[in-house]
Structure 1
C-alpha cells in the first residue's frame, strides 16, 4: 500500500479509499469518502452572496447539492488574502467587475455587490459543509480571477508584490494557516485536500519563468517548494498541484512530492474552432469582427469601441480571460453560438471523444506512477458563453456521462458532472443529469455492475 499525503512509513492501508477499480493502489485519509462527487463553487461562494445571488443562503446551497448527489465542493478559499496579504478582511467589499463588463460571461456575471467578513465567512462555509455532510477541496484562484471582484485593487497589488519565485511557497504557507484556523474551530476533518493553486500553468504563477520549456515543466521546482512548505506543517493533509487541461506532453513536470493530482480535461474540439477562427485569445488587434458579426446581438457595439471602465483597467489583468473572448461572450446571441457549435460538431465528435479518453488515461497513468489519488476538478467541453446551452444539451450532457464513466474506469478519487453543474450556472436546474452522473460515479457505474 503506497501512502499519500506525506505520512511517512504508514503502510496499514487505513485510508478511507477502498481500492477503486483501475486506480493506483493508494490510501486516502480514513475520515474522507471513498469517492468525491464534486460541485465546482470556485470563488462564487463569496463573491455571489448578495441579495438574490446563488450563495446568499449557504445552507440552502449545500442542501441542494446533497439532494443532487454531491458530497464535495471545490472552492477558492482565498488563502493568500486571509492569511498572507496583511489586509484587513473584516469588511471585504466585492461585486461586479464594473461598467457591465463581463456581465454576461460565465463565472463573471456577478449581479449584486456584497460585503463579507472574510475569515468569518470561511468558517461559516465550513460549518455549513459539515452540517450537510459535505467535504471541501480548498484551492486558490487568486493569481487568476478572484481579486478582480474586489472593490479596490489592494488584494491584487498584494499578490503582485510577492516575487514570482516565492508565490507558491507563500500560497503553501497560507494553506497551512487555513488548516490551522479550521483545526482551531474543530473543522479540519471537513477538508478533503488542498491545492497550491487552481490551474497553475494558466495564470500569474508563471511570471518570471524562462520560457524555454512548457510552463508545467518550468513550474515544477516552484510547486515542489510550495508543497514542501505546506507539508512541513500539515503532513496529514493531502496537497498537490492542479492543472488546466491535461498537459500530456509535459507530465514529467508534475511535482515529485505531490500528494494528489488534479487535472481539468476540457477537450474543446469544436469550441477550439470558435476560439481560433475568431481569434478570441491572443492579440486583441487580430480579433475577427467580420466573422463574429453573425453571432452577435443587434445591439452589440464594435469591438474597438468597447472597453471596461478606464479606472478599472487593472481588473482586466487580474481576471485572465482575454478582452476579445469577454466581448464575444458579453454580446453574443447565445442561440446563434449554439447553432454554430452544433453545425460543426460532427466533424469533431470522434476526435473529442478520443482526446477525452486519452487525457483521462494519461492523467491516471501519471497518478499511478506517483502513487497518489487522481481528481478531475473541472471539465469537459470548455468555456462556453453563459447563456449557451451546448454543454447542457444532448451533445454536452452525453459527454458528461461518458467522462464520468471514464472517471470510474480509471479509478479517479474525485470527479465533476461538469464544471457548469453548480448553483451559479443553468445546469444546476438539470436534476436528472446530475443525479444520474453522481450515482454512476458513486456506485462505480458499469465497472461496478461488472463486479
Structure 2
C-alpha cells in the first residue's frame, strides 16, 4: 500500500537536538524541583545546545478524559517508595492547572526558539503521579482496541488548542504514544509472535489514520522501544517519522539477568544482591511494601527493579558495570552501529526522517553515574557521531541529559555531543 508522508514543516531545524523532559516537566514543578521555572529550564537547554524537547503532553487527560484538570494534584509514589529511582524521585507535591501549564510550556518554547515533540506516556507512567486514580481509571476504561484512535483524537484536539493560541508552530511532530510495544497499549491482544505484531500494527495504523484525517498537515507517528529488528513490518505504513530508542544495554542486561531485576519476585537473587549491590539494612524484596496497586499497574516497571534501584549502593551498582564492561564493549558497539544503520535504512525505504528519541545504555539508578562517567560519556559521543553518519534528523545526547537528572550538570559534555551531531 502506497502512502505519501506528511512533509516536515520547512521552519523546523535541519537537525533536532533532543532533551527528554517526558512527564517530569509537569510532575516536578514544586518548590526546588527542576521544572519549577520553565524559562530557566529552557534557557539551560539552549545553553547546552538543545533546540527540541520531547514531552508527555497529557493529551488524553486534557482532551479525552472529561476530567476537571484545573487543579491537578501531583506528587510522589508514596513515602520513600521510588525516591532513589530515576524519573520517579518526585520530592515536592504540587497542584497545577494542567491545560494552562501546557500552554505556558509552549509559550516558553517560543520565547526560547525551541520546538516540542508532542507525545504521551499515559499508558505507561504519567497517571501514577496523580494524587487520585481518576486519570488512570479513565485511560483504562477505553477499550484496548480503541486506545490508539482515542489518543489520536486527543492529540488532534491538543493541536487545535495550540493553533488557537498561535503556538502550533512549536510542534516538531506528534507521537500518539511512547514505546508502543511496552505498556498498556498492548492489552487484550491475547496472542504472541507475528500475530501480536500485526494486531498492534492494525491498532496503531487506525490511530494514525484518524489523526491524519483530523490534522492533515501535522506529521504524526508512534515510537518504539529499542529498534524492532525483525519486526519492522509492525511499524505502520502511515507513520511520517520513524522514531526508535536504541538502548544498547549489554553490560546492564548482564546485571539485570544476574540478579533477576525483571523476572518474577521469587526468582530474585536476594542474597547475591545483598552481598554485592544493596545498602546495609535493606529489607528482603518479599518483605518490602510497594505502593498502591493502581499506581503499580500504571507505572509498569517491575517490583524487583524498583526495589534494587531504591536499595542499592549506587557506587556498587556502577562498580559492577565497570567490572564487567570489557566483556560486553564490542557487542554494545556493534549493536549501536547495527541498530542505527537498520533504522536509517528503514526510514530511507519509507522516505521519512529518522529520530532517535531516547538512548543509550539503559535504565540505571538515580544516583548511578555510569552514563556520565568516562565510559558512558564516550558512548554518548559515539552515538551522536553515528546518528549524524546515518543521517538522522534528530538525536539525543543521552536520556539522562535532562534537568531532572544529575547529568544535566555536565554542560560541557552536552555541548560537545550536540556539536558532534549538528556539525557533522
Per the normalisation by structure 1, the TM-score is 0.92
- Report how far residue 427 of structure 1 moved: 0.6
Match for residue 224 of structure 1 among 205, 224, 233: 205
- Report how far residue 307 of structure 1 moved: 1.4
Change (3 A) 1:436 1:3: farther
Change (3 A) 1:3 1:221: closer
Matches of 1:346 and 1:200 in 2, distance apart? Answer: 32
Matches within 5 A, 1:187-198: 187-198=167-178
Contact 2:261 2:305 in 1 (8 A): yes
Match for residue 128 of structure 1 among 97, 108, 121: 108
2:244 aligns to what SS in structure 1?
A: strand
Matching residue of 2:245: 264
Matching residue of 2:259: 278
Matches of 2:365 and 2:228 in 1, distance apart? Answer: 24
- Report how far residue 300 of structure 1 moved: 1.2
Contact 2:3 2:237 in 1 (8 A): no
2:316 aligns to what SS in structure 1?
A: helix
Matches of 1:140 and 1:282 in 2, distance apart? Answer: 27
Matches of 2:367 and 2:261 in 1, distance apart? Answer: 18
Change (3 A) 1:187 1:261: same
1:399 aligns with 2:379: yes
Matches of 1:185 and 1:5 in 2, distance apart? Answer: 26
Contact 2:67 2:135 in 1 (8 A): yes
Matching residue of 1:39: 19
- Report how far residue 268 of structure 1 moved: 0.3
Match for residue 289 of structure 1 among 267, 270, 287: 270
- Report how far residue 299 of structure 1 moved: 2.2
TM-align CA RMSD: 1.2
Matches of 1:324 and 1:97 in 2, distance apart? Answer: 16
Matching residue of 2:346: 366
Matches of 2:3 and 2:387 in 1, distance apart? Answer: 21
Matches of 2:419 and 2:8 in 1, distance apart? Answer: 21
Matching residue of 1:155: 135
- Report how far residue 139 of structure 1 moved: 0.3
Contact 1:216 1:247 in 2 (8 A): no
Matches of 1:54 and 1:211 in 2, distance apart? Answer: 42
Matching residue of 2:221: 240
Matches of 2:392 and 2:370 in 1, distance apart? Answer: 26
Matching residue of 1:306: 288
Per the normalisation by structure 2, the TM-score is 0.98
Matches of 2:209 and 2:162 in 1, distance apart? Answer: 20
1:51 aligns with 2:31: yes
Contact 1:99 1:308 in 2 (8 A): no
1:117 aligns with 2:97: yes
The size of the alignment, in residue pairs, is 421
1:82 aligns with 2:66: no
Q: Deviations over 1:180-227 (max 9, x none)?
A: 000000000001000010000000000011323254443111111010
- Report how far residue 432 of structure 1 moved: 1.2
Matches of 2:266 and 2:295 in 1, distance apart? Answer: 20
Matches of 1:211 and 1:377 in 2, distance apart? Answer: 28
Matches of 1:373 and 1:216 in 2, distance apart? Answer: 23
Matches of 1:364 and 1:250 in 2, distance apart? Answer: 15
Matching residue of 1:15: none
- Report how far residue 4 of structure 1 moved: 6.1
Q: Deviations over 1:20-46 (max 9, x none)?
A: xxxxxxx52111111100000000000
Matching residue of 2:298: 318
Match for residue 319 of structure 2 among 321, 335, 339: 339
1:208 aligns with 2:188: yes
Which 5+ residue runs of structure 2 have no aligned equivalent?
none
Match for residue 328 of structure 1 among 308, 321, 329: 308
Matching residue of 2:120: 140
Contact 1:5 1:237 in 2 (8 A): no
